[in-house]
Amino acid sequence: MNQSQKTKINCKRAEALLYPIAAFLLTGGLTRTAAQKSFAVAIARAQETAGRRIEHIGHPSRYADLIALWTHDARFLDRAGHPRPLLMNEFRALVRAVTPPLDSRTALSVLKRYGNVRNLRGRCSLVRPFFFTSSRSSMAFEPMAYFLSDASSTLGRILRRTRSSREPELFWRKVETTGLSKRAAVAFTEFVATRSLEFLEELDDWLETHRSTLNKRHRRHRSRRVGVGLFSIYSNPEMTTHVGPNAL
């Protein structure tokens, strides 16, 4: 992808992303000068390392929409209702149904690179029900940007919320514990990865059903982007020796 096709982040988006982080730093006791110095150091470290593993793929929703259609549309399902392996011309039809401007070979390359699709006897086989965006060697920039933006936006809205706010009651939930061994941590990650996929598939079915229904009723209304994001937590041993604010 050339430079002109790379996703741009303007100052307004950057400020929205950094607002909860700035609030966290200042509330935690850092002065404005110390916070700015810390941010400058972080930028210097990022310039040295971040660009080595990050690549641009364009807007992530088109890849997610490809997989969503593949897992829900009868044209691309087998008799059991599962996504069936597609011939290349069928995969091109899938791409055209979702996002005609996207080149089908480019889309297939991205999906393969991050382990979403693999070749199976001359066909494209979907191996993951949701769009995975990282591998051991690289990460996609745009999904990462949306993830950080979504997390920051949720925290920012919670910080700014008042009793008179009429928006949905956004939330932040997590479960965690300390004292697990590395082996137990691996077992937990595998367990939650499986269970979370089941949970997300249920939510995805709900969203797909209600999106088509609501779109017919409220076509003139501006649409909202809603969803739920999950991420795993893992710390080094020294990070769990104390519990409380001093452990940060």
Range of the domain at 225: 178-243
Domain annotation covers residue 149: no
Please name the helix (run of DSSP H) or strand (run of DSSP E) that holds residue 34, with its range, or none. helix 32-49
Cα–Cα dist 117/95, whole Å: 14
| Angle formed by the axes of helices 11-27 and 32-49, nearest 10° | 120
Domain annotation covers residue 52: no
Phi-psi region of 175 (alpha: psi -120 to 50; beta: other; left: phi over 0): beta
123 forms bridges with which residues in the sheet? 120
pLDDT at residue 112 in the model: 94
Tell me how many domains the chain contains. Answer: 2
* One-letter amino acid of 43: I
pLDDT at residue 247 in the model: 45
Cα–Cα dist 99/111, whole Å: 15
Q: State how beta strands 139-140 and 123-126 pair.
A: unpaired
Cα–Cα dist 4/222, whole Å: 29
pLDDT at residue 81 in the model: 93
pLDDT at residue 3 in the model: 39
CA dihedral of 151, 156, 158, 161, whole degrees rounded to 10? -150
Instruction: Please name which of 136, 143, 112, 116 lies closest in space to residue 128, comparing C-alpha atoms.
Output: 116
pLDDT at residue 248 in the model: 47
Cα–Cα dist 187/155, whole Å: 30
Residue 107 backbone phi and psi in degrees, to 5? -60, -45
Domain annotation covers residue 171: no
Our measurement of the distance from residue 192's CA atom to the centroid of its chain's CA atoms, rounded to an integer in Å, reads: 17
Domain annotation covers residue 200: yes
Q: In which residue are the tokens 């091109």 written? A: 92
Domain annotation covers residue 184: yes
Integer-rounded Cα Rg, in Å, for the chain is 21
Domain annotation covers residue 167: no
Whether the pTM exceeds 0.85: the reply is no
pLDDT at residue 111 in the model: 95
Domain annotation covers residue 92: yes
Please give the chain's pLDDT, 248 residues, in tens. 443 455 567 788 788 778 888 888 888 899 999 999 999 998 888 887 666 678 889 888 899 999 989 998 999 999 999 999 999 999 999 999 998 889 999 999 999 999 999 998 889 999 988 899 988 888 898 888 888 888 888 888 888 888 787 778 888 888 898 888 999 999 999 999 889 988 988 888 888 788 766 555 555 566 777 888 888 888 877 654 444 444 44
pLDDT at residue 184 in the model: 94
How is residue 132 written in tokens?
Answer: 């995975």
Domain annotation covers residue 193: yes
**Three-state DSSP state, 234:** coil
Cα–Cα dist 36/137, whole Å: 31
How wide is the angle at C-alpha 131 spanned by C-alphas 218 and 82, nearest 5°? 85
